[in-house]
Amino acid sequence: MNYLWDNIFRKSKTEDEIRTVLRENILFDALSDRELRFLRDIVHIRHYHAGEPIFRQGEVGVGMYIIIKGRIEIFVTDEAAAEENRDIFITQLQAKDFFGEISLVEDNGRRTASAVSRDETTLIGFFRPDLMEIMARSPQAGTKIIFRLAEVLGKRLKETTDKVSDLRRALKELREPPPMDGQL
């Protein structure tokens, strides 16, 4: 017999899935089980249809997203060709990837890219007010998250700096004519 009360005390599959995704994310992997449960109760679950924008370049960012299922494409609009509405593909993200984390530390910062769902997608939203609530109610957990966030932002800044340096070298090589035979 299936009684109405059968599953009342069992965790839902969604709660377990959310907890697993949070536990495996670098920003939250240092949290204790208790802190992780607290976080799970604060985050927001969002569902998007294929082709639906998550956010657009230039909008004020309010938080980050972690993908539970689906795919997200990140792209920027070329400002020089804005009248042509030319988008430049940056990357495609999938389950367990996260994006938009810089908005957790920027006050009224603008999104530097756009994000669009490519499939039916489920995301965990973790917003700046959520982080502020954790900092106020559980400073130890908040500190763990902030340190991990600093680590991620530092790593992404280094990767970006390396790419810019590589592009500058490549551009310099294109501008300088190759030495002619017999000349040094």
Mean pLDDT of the chain: 88
Spelled out in words, what is the top-level CATH class assigned to the domain 13-174? mainly beta
Q: Is the pLDDT of residue 5 over 60?
A: no
Q: How far is C-alpha 143 from the chain's CA centre?
A: 19
For residue 83, pLDDT over 80 is answered with no
Asked whether the predicted pLDDT for residue 3 surpasses 80, the reply is no
Task: Select the more confidently predicted residue: 78 or 26.
Answer: 26
pLDDT confidence band for 26 (50 / 70 / 90): very high
Helix axes of 33-42 and 13-24: crossing angle, nearest 10 degrees: 110
pLDDT band at residue 10 using 50, 70 and 90 as cut-offs: very low
Judged against a pLDDT cut of 50, whether residue 1 lies above it is answered with no
**Could you tell me which of 112, 70, 64, 114 has the C-alpha nearest to residue 93?**
70
Q: What is the pLDDT of residues 140-176, one digit of tens each?
A: 999 999 999 999 999 989 998 998 998 899 888 888 8
pTM for this structure?
Answer: 0.81
pLDDT of residue 127: 96
pLDDT of residue 158: 93
- The pLDDT confidence band at residue 36, using thresholds 50, 70 and 90, is very high
- For 52-73, b/e burial (b = at least 16 CB within 10 A) is eebbebeeebbbbbbbbebbbb
pLDDT of residue 22 exceeding 80: yes
Q: Is 1 helix (H, G, I), strand (E, B) or coil?
A: coil
Handedness of CA 37, 43, 13, 30 (dihedral sign): negative
> What token pair was written down for 72?
């997200």
Q: Each residue of 87-126: pLDDT tens digit?
A: 899 999 999 999 999 999 998 889 999 999 999 999 999 9
55-82 pLDDT per residue, tens? 999 999 999 999 999 999 999 998 765 5
Query: How does DSSP assign 130-181, residue by residue?
Result: HHHHHHHH-HHHHHHHHHHHHHHHHHHHHHHHHHHHHHHHHHHHHHSPPPPT
